[in-house]
């Protein structure tokens, strides 16, 4: 094998190795098991830690399927996207941008879809460009 071919092969293997190590690192960092923080009473609200920020999440009434309620996230300035799902079950595209009510408060009027299995265990993903937080809650039937 000529020196130039050997050099090209070694360069290709080095690039492949670097790419592979970055791909593995990205996969490990972004596929960690989700930690769900429970909020047992959304009407009273819950104070939660989201990264270095302390936020408050609340609802104007106890969430129930097919009944509109307003979720509020306080002490957050950046745009928030809220995603709803049942625990351990992908519910499809239930993802909504929250609306700014003030500089540090965002709200969203939303309804939970009907669950034919009668389950009441939900997870809301509060997502900003800096990261997210999974908050578990129970709905009325």
Spatial CA neighbour of 100 closest among 123, 124, 76, 83: 76
Reply yes or no on whether the pLDDT at 132 is more than 70.
yes
Segment 99-124 mean pLDDT? 88
More confident of the two residues 88 and 24: 88
Which residues fall within 8 angstroms of residue 129, CB to CB, at 6 or more apart? 78, 79
In the block, residue with structure tokens 């460009």 = 129
Output the CA–CA distances (angstroms, integers) from residue 57 to 9, 72, 89, in the order listed.
55, 6, 22
HSE toward the beta carbon, residue 41, CA cutoff 13 A:
2
Reply yes or no on whether the pLDDT at 54 is more than 90.
yes
pLDDT at res. 119: 79
pLDDT at res. 140: 83
Assign 101 a pLDDT band (cuts: 50, 70, 90): very high
At 125, list the tokens.
């993903």
At 70, list the tokens.
């307003």
Assign 116 a pLDDT band (cuts: 50, 70, 90): low
């Amino acid at each position: 094998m000529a020196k130039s071919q050997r050099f090209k092969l070694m360069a290709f293997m080095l690039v492949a190795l670097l790419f592979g190590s970055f791909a593995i690192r990205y996969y490990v960092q972004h596929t960690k098991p989700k930690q769900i923080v429970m909020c047992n009473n959304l009407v009273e609200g819950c104070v939660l830690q989201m990264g270095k920020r302390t936020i408050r999440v609340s609802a104007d009434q106890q969430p129930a399927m097919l009944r509109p309620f307003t979720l509020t996230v306080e002490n957050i300035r950046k745009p928030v996207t809220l995603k709803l799902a049942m625990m351990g079950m992908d519910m499809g595209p239930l993802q909504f941008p929250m609306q700014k009510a003030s500089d540090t408060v965002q709200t969203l009027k939303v309804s939970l879809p009907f669950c034919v299995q009668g389950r009441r265990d939900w997870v809301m993903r509060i997502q900003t460009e800096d990261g997210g937080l999974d908050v578990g809650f129970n709905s009325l039937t």
